[in-house]
Amino acid sequence: MSRYLVACDAGGTMTDVILVDEEGKFVIGKAPTTPDDESIGFMESFDEALTYWDMAGDGRKVCENAETAIYTGTSMINTLINLSGLKTGLIVTRGFEDIIVQGRGSQSFIGYEWSEITHMQYRKHREPLVPRSLTRGVTERIDMFGQPVIPMYEHEVESGVRELLAEGVESIAIVFLYSFTNPMHEQKAGEIARKLVEESGRKVPVVLSSDVAPIQREVSRANATVIQAYAAEPAREQLIRVEEKLVEKGYQHSLKTVLCYGGVTNIRYPRLFETVMSGPVGGIMGGKHLANTIGGLENLVCADMGGTSFDAGCITQGMLPIDREPPFQQMYVNVPMLDIRSIGAGTGTYIRLDPETNRLKLGPDSAGGTPGPVFQEQGNEIPTIGDCDLLLGIINEDYYLGGRIKVNKQKSEEVFKEKIADPLGLDVPTAAEQCVNLVNVMMREHLIRSLMLGYDIRDYTLLGYGGAGPMHLAGYASEYPWKGIATVPHAAAFSAWGGACMDYGHRRHKSVAAVIPPGADDDTKQFAGQMVSAAWEELETQLLDELMAEGFTRDQITLRQIVYMKYFGHLDDLEIASPVERLNTVEDVDKLVNAFVDVFTTTYTLAGKPPVPTYQIEEVSIIAEVSTVKPHVGTFELEGKEPSKAARKGTRQVYYEGTWHEGQLFELDELRAGNEITGLAVIEAPSTTLYVPAGWQVRLDEREIIWLEKGGSS
C-alpha cells in the first residue's frame, strides 16, 4: 500500500494542500481560506487535490496511509488581529503595570513608510491585548545578576490573582523583571496563582515569562508571554478541528504544525505561540531543502507572492536568517523567527485613486480569498491586481483554478473602467498594465531596499513562488543582475511543500553575559566557557525531557549548540554553530572564537573587524531535532528543447508594453525536463500561471526547476 504525506499552507487568501506519495509525485489542491473555521478550507483543498489523482471522494485511502500531516495557517494571527483571544490578566513587577499598554515607542511605527514615521498623527500604538484594568503589580525585585534584592510580597500576588479571577479572566500571564536570570519569584507566584485557580474550580492557564522566553528585552518578553496566554488556546482549537476532519477519514497520527524558526511540532506543543508566523516559514525551509538537494545555491532569496502579501527571506552561505526579536502585529516579541520581510502586495491587493492627487494607490489591504477579485462576483466592487492580470490576457478566464471558479471578465472591465481607467483618462488595458507595473516595482524595491540592503545580489539566486509568484516573477526580478531566477512547477503550494521538508524540532534560547577581552588569560576564557556551557546544559535538559515525553527516544534526537556572538560595541550579533558540544577547555573557547571570525568575514566587510577585538556573547540556544522523511526531489532525463504537442494550447492575445500581441499558450503539467520556451508566452496550470514576457526565455533543468533568463542568456 502506498504511503502518503499531507501538507497544508493556509494563507490569507488561499488554502493550499499538497499530497506527496512515496515516489515523490505530488498533486496540489487550492481553495479559499475560511478564517472562521480553517478546517473547511482545508478539506475543500484536500478534496480538490485528490481529483488530480482520480481519487475524488477517496480521501480515506490517503488518510489511512499518511505518514504525517502538517498544517500551517493563520489561526493565531487572526486571533490577534480580531482581538478574539482569551480574556487575559497580567501580574507584573510593581511600577511596571504599563509595560504592555506603553510598550516601546518604535512599536508605534512598525512597517510604516518614512513619510508616515515622521508625522506623529500616523504613529499609534495598537490596542493592547491586556488592558491596564486587568494588570496588577507585585512588590519584588531580582537584580541583573540574578540576586533577590526585594523579597516577593506573596499577599500581593494572592490579592492580585483573586481580583483578576473576579474580573472573569480566562488566562493569567506573569512577567517579573530579570526573571530570565533567576525565575524564583515567578515560579512562586505561579504556584500561588495555580492554587487559587484550582480553588475557584475554573480552568485558567497560568503562563510564566521565564518558561516562555527567558531572554532579556523586557517588553518583548512580556509581549511573547501575553501572546501565549491570550492566543494559544483559541489557535489550538482551530488546529484540533483540522485534525478531527483527518481522523474522520482514517488518519492515525497527531496533526503537526510549523514553528516560526523552521521545525515541525505537535499541535499540542505547550509553547504554541512559537507557531505564530508559521505560514511563510514553509517557503524558506522548502528553499533550503531544495538548495541542499541540488547544491550550488548557498545564497538564495525566497520570494512568496500570494493573494494578500509578498513575503521574502534571504539564505546566506546556507544559513537561515533568524530574527530573535521580530516585529509582529505592531509588537516586538521574544520569539525566534525566520527573518521574513512582508509587504501588502498580492493579486488581491486593492487598487484605488488618491482623492487628493488622483494618483494610483495600491493596498496595503486586500480582497483576500473572500470576497476575492471583482471577477469572482462575491461582493467586491474594488478593482484588484488579479483583475488587471485578467484584463491583460495573462489569466485564462476559462481556466482559473482549473476552471473550478467562474470568472466574469466583463464585470472586471466595467468596474476597472469606471473607478480607475476613466478617471485617469486611459483606456482599460493601458491603465491595467500601469497597475501591474506598479506592484512589480513595489516588490522589486522591497527586495532590493529592504531585504538585500548591504548584500551583493549578483551572488544570489532568486526563487519565486506562491499562487501569483510565477505570474509576476519576471516583472519583479527584472532590472537587477540576479545570479539566477527560478521557480518550480509546484510554486503555488511551495510553502506547503516546504512544511514537509522540515525536521521535527524544538528550539530554546537563554540570555547570558559572557565576555572575552583582548589578551584574555586562560582563567577568563574558561569562566566565559563555563557560563555558556551551563546555559547549554540547562536548555538541553528541557528539550530532551520535552521530546522524550512526546515519544521520541534519546538516540533519535540530535542536539546543536548555538551562540549569538559579536564584537563588543557592535549592534548586531551573528548566529554561530559551535564546533564543540561544551566549552570545557581554553582550546574549545578558541575554536568557538575562530568559528565566529570565519562567519563574520564571509558575511561582512573586513573593515568592520576591530583591530583589538573583544568578543561578547549575550544569548545562547539549543536546537533539538528528530530527522523526518522529506519529499523527494527527482532527477529526470533531459528531453528535447521543443515542448510536446500535448503541451501546446494555442495562442491568446496578451497586452504588453502598450499594445496587444499574440502570446503562445502552454500547459505546465505537460512540459518536461530540457524543454525551452521563448516569450511572449503564458504557461498555465490549475494552481498558478507562469508569464514569460517578450525578450525572456524559460528552460526546465534535469530536476524540472524552471529557470528564467532575460534575452536568452544566463
Under the banding of pLDDT at 50, 70 and 90, the label for residue 235 is confident
Find residue 651's DSSP bridge partners: 664
Q: Is residue 588 part of a domain?
A: yes
Q: Of 245, 275, 305, which residue is a domain's last?
A: 275
Q: Are residues 100 and 136 in the same domain?
A: yes
Taking each helix axis as running N to C, give the angle between helix 154-166 and helix 184-200, from 0 to 180 degrees, rounded to the nearest 10.
40
Residue 325 lies in a domain: no
Q: Is residue 185 located within the same domain as residue 93? A: yes
Q: What percent of the chain has pLDDT over 90?
A: 55
Indicate whether 195 and 262 sit together in one domain.
no
Position 56 in a domain: yes
Backbone angles phi, psi at 643, to 5 degrees: -65, 155
Please state, in angstroms and rounded to a whole number, the distance separating the CA atoms of residues 122 and 116. 6
- Given this model, what pLDDT does residue 1 score? 57
pLDDT in tens, 525-558: 999 999 999 999 999 999 999 888 888 899 999 9
Domain boundary among 275, 306, 323: 275
Q: How many domains does the chain have?
A: 4
**75 and 110 within one domain:** no
The 10s digit of each residue's pLDDT in 259-287 is 888 888 888 888 888 887 776 788 898 99
Rounded to 5, what percent of the chain is helix, strand, coil? 35, 25, 35
**What range defines the domain where residue 62 resides?**
4-79+236-275
Same domain flag for 159 and 115: yes
Q: Are residues 614 and 690 in the same domain?
A: no
**601 lies in the same domain as 510:** yes
Same domain, 528 and 612: yes
* Low-confidence winner among 43-47, 175-179, 294-298, 615-619 (lowest mean pLDDT): 294-298
User: Could you tell me if residue 679 is inside a domain?
Assistant: yes
434 pLDDT higher than 90: yes
Burial 661-697 (b: 16+ CB within 10 A, else e): bebbbbbbebbbbbbbbebbbbbbbbbbbbbbbeebb
The whole-number average pLDDT for the span 666-695 is: 93
Q: What angle do CA 163, 168, 169 make, to 5 degrees?
A: 85
Burial tier of 640 (Cβ tally within 10 Å: 0-12, 13-18, 19+) = exposed
Q: What is the pLDDT of residue 474?
A: 95
Which pLDDT score, from 0 to 100, does residue 637 have?
92
Q: Is 632 exposed, middle or buried (0-12, 13-18, 19+ CB in 10 A)?
A: middle
Distances (CA, A) of 100 to 106, 125, 134, 226, 463: 13, 10, 11, 9, 39
Cα separations (Å) of 471 from 433, 483, 491, 691? 13, 20, 10, 5
- Rounded distance, CA 396 to CA 688, Å? 10
| 43/154 same-domain check | no
In a domain, 220, yes or no: no
User: Using CA of residue 92, residue 94, residue 96, residue 97, what is the dihedral sign?
Assistant: positive
- Give the N- to C-terminal CA distance of the chain in Å, as an integer: 44
DSSP E strand stretches across 22-128 = 26-32, 66-72, 88-93
pLDDT at 429 over 80: yes
Q: What is the CATH number of the domain that holds 616?
A: 3.30.1490
**Rounded Cα distance, 205 and 203, in Å:** 7
Is residue 230 one of the residues assigned to a domain? no
- DSSP H or E segment with residue 565: strand 557-567
Whether the upstream peptide bond of residue 489 has omega within 30° of 0, thus cis, is: no
248 with 172, same domain?
no
Alpha-carbon distance of 148 to 152, in angstroms, equals 9
In this structure, is residue 579 part of a structural domain?
yes
Write out the three cell numbers for 94. 510593581
User: Residues 524, 616: one domain?
Assistant: yes
CATH number for 247? 3.30.420.40
Residues 59 and 100 in one domain: no
Mean pLDDT of the chain: 89
| Residue finishing a domain among 255, 275, 295 | 275
Phi (first) and psi of residue 166, to 5 degrees: -65, -30
Q: Give the single-character DSSP code of 316.
A: B
pLDDT, one tens digit per residue, over 320-356 is: 888 888 887 788 888 888 888 888 888 999 999 988 8
Domain-located, residue 169: yes
